[in-house]
Structure 1
């Protein structure tokens, strides 16, 4: 039986001639162009030049394909916690926070799969907790209680994830919702002289940028340092 021709004039690949790895790699290529939300099985089939049934042979639903993509991300990207020393805990935590945020903000698909969609239990809770035992131990050695150390690390983790997600959602907006012209009309020097006197501050309200990220991160680290000082 002749293999049916594809819509672009080439002969479509036969069922079974494509592997799971090719499908997953192709899914990343399509998602890079149209996003995770807009990725569809028919679109992926056209990209791979196969019939859509060849995709469904391996992945019955889009969620199963996204699970496979998530597993690939967890294998390919380094989500480990940097080793933190008690005597250098603040700088180490700061570097770790910036590294993780950069990984998510520089890779929209990673952000969509891991943070927005969620890992659906991957990695498991125990391995995830095992990864943060070392930084918690370092903070305890620096003078914090176990609860204070865990709360500090958890707060930094929430900051990293929420900042990356908010920046990702803001990047999806086709047009700037709050252009400079908007703020020029809103910032009344007579009604709000202090805010209006600070260059650029009004333009960044609610923005998940580096300055806001560092301000919150420093606040968390300052609080942790106060725990260490009091108990020391």
Structure 2
């Protein structure tokens, strides 16, 4: 299999706008509005040009194709995390703030989940966030590659929790499936597991958003506790 060549909008200098022409930041802002209002499937260079009342030439002056536009949009998302200064805040507070803000950002911009991991994150805002997390885990006491493994572990946890949440919301709506219908089905299909069904009735909130928030809190604490315990283990 031939190895794919690396390509990115960030490896070439941005073009200056033509006289009275569109700026790149205007194009990206309009793309974000379209993505937020109509989703990934609705974004096209033609539709974006119509929104900006501009021809294709004005758009292609700044971005060669839709992929480059999406790279720029993704970098804007990385800039929305708003985490505290790692030098002024405890590492757990920074990590917790990042996790909650990352979750909230993805829920506000669900289209971004289809870009993370498929588009390169090598823009200035992605690097700034990565460096904040790097300094956070160095301040916690991690060294070497563990600094980056700790950061990726936290990031992967948030992605693993939120992507299924977004997928379920797309499939079943904000409120999800009627919990009474779910319980009736479980009573019938899981009749051989009465204790588990009783636990489900007594412990799982009927409101899906509450249940998801509780699950996120529990898992995040476990991840942070695990990272902290790692710091106290002697290196072999």
The equivalent of 2:12 in structure 1 is: none
Relative to structure 1, is the Cα distance of residues 54 and 92 closer, same or farther in structure 2, using a 3 angstrom cutoff? closer
Q: Secondary structure at the match of 2:40?
A: coil
Alignment of 1:42-121 (within 5 A): 42-74=46-78, 76-78=79-81, 80=83, 82-83=85-86, 89-109=91-111, 111-112=112-113, 115=116, 117-121=118-122
Count of residues paired in the alignment: 210
Q: Secondary structure at the match of 1:135?
A: helix
Relative to structure 1, is the Cα distance of residues 72 and 29 closer, same or farther in structure 2, using a 3 angstrom cutoff? same
The equivalent of 1:214 in structure 2 is: 217
- Alignment pair present for 1:197 and 2:198: yes
Relative to structure 1, is the Cα distance of residues 201 and 224 closer, same or farther in structure 2, using a 3 angstrom cutoff? same
> How far apart are residue 158 of structure 1 and its match?
1.0
> How far apart are residue 229 of structure 1 and its match?
5.7
Question: What is the CA deviation profile of residues 11-60 of structure 1, one whole-angstrom value per residue up to 9, with x for unaligned ones?
Answer: xxxx9754033332222222222112320122222222333444334433
d(CA) in 1 for partners of 2:187, 2:205: 7
- Asked if the contact 1:28/1:69 (under 8 Å) is kept, the reply is yes
The equivalent of 1:3 in structure 2 is: none
What TM-score results when the alignment is normalised by the length of structure 2?
A: 0.66
Aligned residues: CA RMSD: 4.0
The equivalent of 1:139 in structure 2 is: 140
The equivalent of 2:185 in structure 1 is: 185
- Asked if the contact 2:106/2:162 (under 8 Å) is kept, the reply is yes
d(CA) in 2 for partners of 1:32, 1:44: 13
> How far apart are residue 122 of structure 1 and its match?
3.1
d(CA) in 1 for partners of 2:62, 2:92: 47
d(CA) in 1 for partners of 2:134, 2:71: 27
| Structure 2 gap ranges (5+) | 1-17
- Pairing partner for 1:40 from 44, 47, 50: 44
d(CA) in 1 for partners of 2:229, 2:184: 39
What TM-score results when the alignment is normalised by the length of structure 1?
A: 0.66
- Alignment pair present for 1:31 and 2:35: yes
Question: What is the CA deviation profile of residues 177-225 of structure 1, one whole-angstrom value per residue up to 9, with x for unaligned ones?
Answer: 75431342123574222221133639799x9921221222222233334
- Asked if the contact 1:104/1:164 (under 8 Å) is kept, the reply is yes
